[in-house]
């Protein structure tokens, strides 16, 4: 059955419905953010665009900057950034959209100076940090090395540096700021020849690289300047060896652009010729005089005999030189600067010291070394020379037979151990336990060291 409502009642119900249901609100705007380009080397110029229909657009660029507009331009420093746009409709409804921008940067640190052709340390990092990124370091003449970043985005590289100028690191399309490196050239200076009087003696100078600069050489003898000149290439300068001169030499690189000044200062001495057993000359007499000035027992002779050999051994021992018994240029140079050693003990003021490591005996007077004598202590298997403080307890003038051989002018300091003369005093330990001294010095020691004289052995 159909029921018909009056028209008035139907209109009333519609009016009630219109009042009870509010009008629908406006829909939020639809927006999508885009970046072009979205990645690249820093500083990266990016165009940010918001696609959609809205009354206004506000950008939070992610690096602390903001901007307004549907399309904005921004330059990003190295890093990973998120740009967010907020779109607002005319009725106030808003919507947001974000886009990520990656601006890749690379840093480089190097020393400001590097020695020519030596390995320098290059280090830096990639931003944003990423592991496994290949980094190439290049200089004025191309790449010098490659490295891979670690998990923190850092890299380290050691590579030889041969050219002055700017160096930079590259990671993909990102390039670091250039870093300038100056080169310390290799200045090579050497004396060619033995330096013996009358021989050929040269100062040789060279520089690497050749274009590092010019070479300035100043050679003086005393207060007199003999050479003051500049060369543009490797050079050899002859030194006069007619007399026993000493030269003061200064060699400097006057650098070209990109290089560092370098200076070498050296001394060149003209010395006496090489001497060995059997030589006869005035140089041998000069040698003896210089040894005696150092309180080393040395004979007055112009012949290099066994006594002079003992004296040479004594000097080589206290100066820690090879015990060759040959007076070569190294020997002469050391002799020119040597000083008298000091005793280990100051008391009593007069005593004897036997230095086993150096194989010498020191005669100490007034707490100073008055005489240095070569010795040979225990060196045979199972034998030893006692160590400690002793005193001379018995002396035998002349030869004294013993179970181990005949002793000359022995001075016993404990039991059967004595300081005595022996025809064989090699420059190394070789006795049964006594302290051997050369025969030509035994009598002098016997006469000048009384009973009770303190003897230190160490």
pLDDT digits (tens, 9 = 90+) for 261-282: 999 999 999 888 899 999 998 8
Q: Is the pLDDT of residue 244 over 90?
A: no
Q: Is the pLDDT of residue 329 over 90?
A: no
Closest residue by Cα to residue 396 from 374, 376, 421, 378: 421
Average pLDDT, the chain: 93
Q: Is the pLDDT of residue 22 over 70?
A: no
Predicted local confidence at residue 404, as pLDDT: 79
User: Using CA atoms, how far apart are residues 121 and 112, in angstroms rounded to an integer?
Assistant: 11
pLDDT tens-place string over residues 291-306: 999 999 999 999 999 9
In the chain, % of residues over pLDDT 90:
87
Predicted local confidence at residue 220, as pLDDT: 98
Structure tokens at 308: 């002079």
Instruction: With both helix axes pointing from N to C terminus, report the angle between 282-293 and 329-337 in degrees, rounded to the nearest 10.
Output: 40
Phi-psi region of 118 (alpha: psi -120 to 50; beta: other; left: phi over 0): beta
10 Å CB burial of residue 67 (0-12, 13-18, 19+) is middle
User: Using CA atoms, how far apart are residues 292 and 429, in angstroms rounded to an integer?
Assistant: 24
Q: Residue 187 in contact with residue 94, Cβ under 8 Å?
A: no
User: Using CA atoms, how far apart are residues 439 and 450, in angstroms rounded to an integer?
Assistant: 19
Place of tokens 């696609």: 51
Over range 5-32, report the average pLDDT: 52
Predicted local confidence at residue 25, as pLDDT: 54
Beta-strand (E) ranges in 161-306? 165-171, 174-175, 179-184, 186-192, 202-208, 213-221, 224-231, 235-238, 246-255, 262-269
Residue 88, number of CB atoms within 10 A of its CB: 17
User: Using CA atoms, how far apart are residues 108 and 428, in angstroms rounded to an integer?
Assistant: 59
pLDDT tens-place string over residues 398-440: 999 988 788 999 999 999 999 999 999 999 999 999 999 999 9
- Whole-Å CA distances, 295 to 96, 289, 306, 325: 98, 10, 18, 18
Q: Is the pLDDT of residue 23 over 50?
A: no
User: Using CA atoms, how far apart are residues 408 and 15, in angstroms rounded to an integer?
Assistant: 150
Predicted TM-score (pTM) of the model is 0.57
Dump the DSSP string for 416-446: TEEEEEES---SS--BSSSEEEEHHHHHHHH
Q: Residue 203 in contact with residue 217, Cβ under 8 Å?
A: yes
Q: Is the pLDDT of residue 4 over 70?
A: no
When pLDDT is cut at 50, 70 and 90, the band that residue 342 belongs to is very high
Over range 183-188, report the average pLDDT: 98
Number of Cα atoms under 13 Å in the Cβ half of residue 261: 5
Predicted local confidence at residue 197, as pLDDT: 84
Structure tokens at 210: 């050749």
Closest residue by Cα to residue 334 from 317, 359, 349, 346: 317
Largest CA distance in the chain: 167
Over range 62-89, report the average pLDDT: 97
Domains of the chain: 31-104 (2.60.40.10), 110-183 (2.60.40.10), 185-269 (2.60.40.1930), 282-337 (no CATH), 351-457 (2.40.440.10)
What value, to the nearest 5°, has the Cα angle with vertex 265 and ends 316 and 242?
65
Dump the DSSP string for 49-93: EEEE--SEEEEE-SSS-EEESSEEEEEE-SEEEEEEEEEE-TTS-
When pLDDT is cut at 50, 70 and 90, the band that residue 441 belongs to is very high
Structure tokens at 388: 């400690």
Phi–psi pair at 306, nearest 5 degrees: -65, -30
User: Using CA atoms, how far apart are residues 438 and 339, in angstroms rounded to an integer?
Assistant: 23
Predicted local confidence at residue 405, as pLDDT: 82
């Amino acid at each position: 059955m159909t029921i018909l409502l009056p028209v008035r009642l139907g209109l009333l119900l519609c009016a009630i419905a219109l009042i009870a249901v509010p009008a629908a609100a406006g829909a939020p705007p639809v927006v999508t953010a885009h970046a072009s380009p979205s990645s690249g080397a820093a500083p990266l110029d990016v165009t940010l665009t918001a696609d959609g229909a809205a009354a206004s657009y506000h950008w939070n660029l992610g690096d602390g900057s903001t901007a307004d507009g549907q399309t904005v331009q921004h330059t990003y420093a190295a890093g990973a950034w998120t740009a967010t746009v907020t779109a607002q409709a005319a009725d106030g409804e808003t919507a947001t959209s974000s886009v990520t921008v990656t601006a890749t940067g690379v840093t480089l640190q190097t020393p400001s100076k590097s020695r020519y052709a030596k390995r320098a340390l290059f280090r830096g990092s990639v931003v944003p940090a990423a592991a496994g990124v290949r980094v190439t370091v290049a200089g004025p003449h191309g790449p010098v090395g490659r490295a891979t970043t670690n998990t923190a985005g850092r890299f380290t590289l050691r590579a030889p540096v041969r050219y002055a100028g700017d160096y930079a690191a590259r990671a993909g399309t990102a390039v670091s700021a250039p870093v300038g490196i100056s080169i310390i050239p290799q200045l090579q200076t050497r004396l060619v020849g033995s330096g013996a009087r009358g021989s050929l003696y040269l100062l040789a100078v060279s520089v690497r690289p050749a274009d590092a600069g010019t070479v300035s050489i100043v050679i003086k003898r005393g207060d007199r300047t003999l050479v003051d000149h500049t060369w543009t290439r490797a050079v050899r300068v002859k030194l006069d060896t007619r007399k026993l001169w000493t030269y003061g030499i200064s060699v400097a690189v006057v650098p070209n652009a990109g290089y560092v000044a370098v200076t070498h200062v050296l001394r060149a001495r003209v010395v006496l010729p090489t001497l060995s057993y059997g030589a006869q000359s005035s140089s041998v007499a000069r040698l003896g005089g210089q040894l005696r000035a150092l309180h080393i027992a040395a004979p007055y002779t112009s012949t290099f005999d066994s006594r002079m050999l003992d004296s040479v051994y004594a000097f080589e021992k206290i100066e820690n030189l090879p015990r060759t018994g040959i007076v070569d240029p190294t020997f002469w140079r050391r002799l020119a600067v040597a000083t008298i050693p000091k005793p280990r003990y100051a008391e009593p003021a007069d005593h004897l010291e036997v230095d086993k490591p150096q194989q010498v005996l020191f005669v100490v007077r007034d707490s100073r070394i008055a005489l240095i004598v070569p010795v040979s202590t225990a060196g045979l298997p199972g034998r030893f020379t006692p160590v400690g403080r002793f005193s001379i307890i018995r002396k035998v003038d002349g030869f004294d037979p013993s179970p181990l051989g005949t002793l000359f002018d022995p001075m016993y300091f404990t039991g059967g151990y004595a300081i005595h003369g022996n025809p064989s005093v090699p420059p190394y330990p070789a006795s049964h336990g006594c302290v051997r001294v050369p025969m030509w010095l035994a009598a002098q020691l016997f006469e000048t060291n009384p009973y009770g004289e303190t003897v230190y052995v160490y």
